[in-house]
């Protein structure tokens, strides 16, 4: 399970880095060519250097984001759900862009949760990666991933929804079981959602559920208000 999680993390980093590295490479080679033909203006030089620096800073921040997530201490603390979601989105931003996924967020910014923020992000990642794969497998053209966080009946309710094709009942009934997967053996071992359930139930004292209707699948995380 650790190797699978590491592989997914490396894949996310690769997605994050691909575009800025391309921008840096294009800017440097472009200036070199213009210099050889003696047509490199001061304006182009300054603008390109600024663009290269901005993308280098972005790469540096990406390293910091992933480092903070990986080395995050497993300790219970009070954290902002808005900051928690932003940290998650920063980790998958490359995948969102490369797969043309539209992410729509509706959350109450004032919500603060007492729990394990990095473990909760891992749950989001597992659910998002399943949606990303389903978009590809079902050849969905217009991809949407919805995030909805609210406070209902003295509970925190986090809903992660996609339009990736839905799931039949026989899969829904087994989705949180260990080693259950619909993916080829080389692409998954069926532990992501099982581990997510363990985190939510045992560490966060909450409850995960999943439902599906037509082309929509909704993962719901219900957390207690202490």
- Give mean pLDDT in consecutive 10-residue pieces for the chain, a chain of 226 residues: 69 79 94 95 94 87 74 79 92 87 94 91 90 94 97 94 94 83 56 83 92 96 89
Between CA 162 and CA 54 the distance in angstroms is 32
The pLDDT value recorded for residue 24 is: 94
**Separate counts of helices (H) and strands (E) for the chain:** 6, 7
The pLDDT value recorded for residue 182 is: 67
The pLDDT value recorded for residue 157 is: 96
Q: In the chain, where do the E strands start and end?
A: 77-80, 101-107, 112-115, 143-152, 155-162, 207-213, 216-224
Q: How many CB atoms lie within 10 A of CB 25?
A: 12
The pLDDT value recorded for residue 41 is: 95
Between CA 8 and CA 133 the distance in angstroms is 12
Between CA 141 and CA 164 the distance in angstroms is 9
The pLDDT value recorded for residue 216 is: 96
pTM for this predicted structure? 0.74
The pLDDT value recorded for residue 186 is: 43
Q: What are the phi and psi torsion angles at 139 (to 5°)?
A: 50, 50
The pLDDT value recorded for residue 15 is: 74
């Amino acid at each position: 399970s650790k190797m699978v999680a590491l592989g997914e993390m490396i894949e996310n980093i690769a997605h994050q880095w691909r575009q800025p590295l391309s921008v840096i490479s294009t800017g440097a080679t472009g200036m070199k060519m213009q210099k050889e033909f003696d047509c490199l203006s001061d304006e182009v030089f300054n603008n390109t250097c600024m663009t290269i620096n901005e993308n280098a800073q972005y790469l540096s921040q990406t390293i910091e984001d992933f480092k903070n997530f990986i080395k995050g201490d497993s300790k219970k603390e009070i954290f902002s759900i808005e900051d928690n979601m932003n940290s998650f989105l920063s980790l998958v931003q490359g995948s969102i862009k490369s797969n043309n996924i539209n992410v729509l967020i509706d959350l109450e910014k004032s919500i603060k949760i007492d729990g394990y923020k990095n473990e909760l992000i891992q749950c989001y990642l597992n659910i998002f990666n399943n949606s990303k794969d389903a978009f590809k497998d079902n050849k969905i053209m217009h991809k949407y991933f919805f995030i909805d966080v609210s406070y209902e009946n003295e509970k925190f309710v986090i809903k992660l929804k996609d339009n990736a094709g839905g799931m039949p009942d026989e899969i829904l009934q087994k989705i949180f079981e260990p080693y259950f997967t619909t993916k080829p053996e080389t692409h998954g071992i069926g532990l992501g959602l099982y581990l997510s359930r363990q985190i939510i139930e045992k560490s966060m004292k909450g409850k995960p559920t999943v439902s599906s209707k037509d082309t929509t699948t909704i993962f719901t995380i219900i957390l207690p208000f202490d």
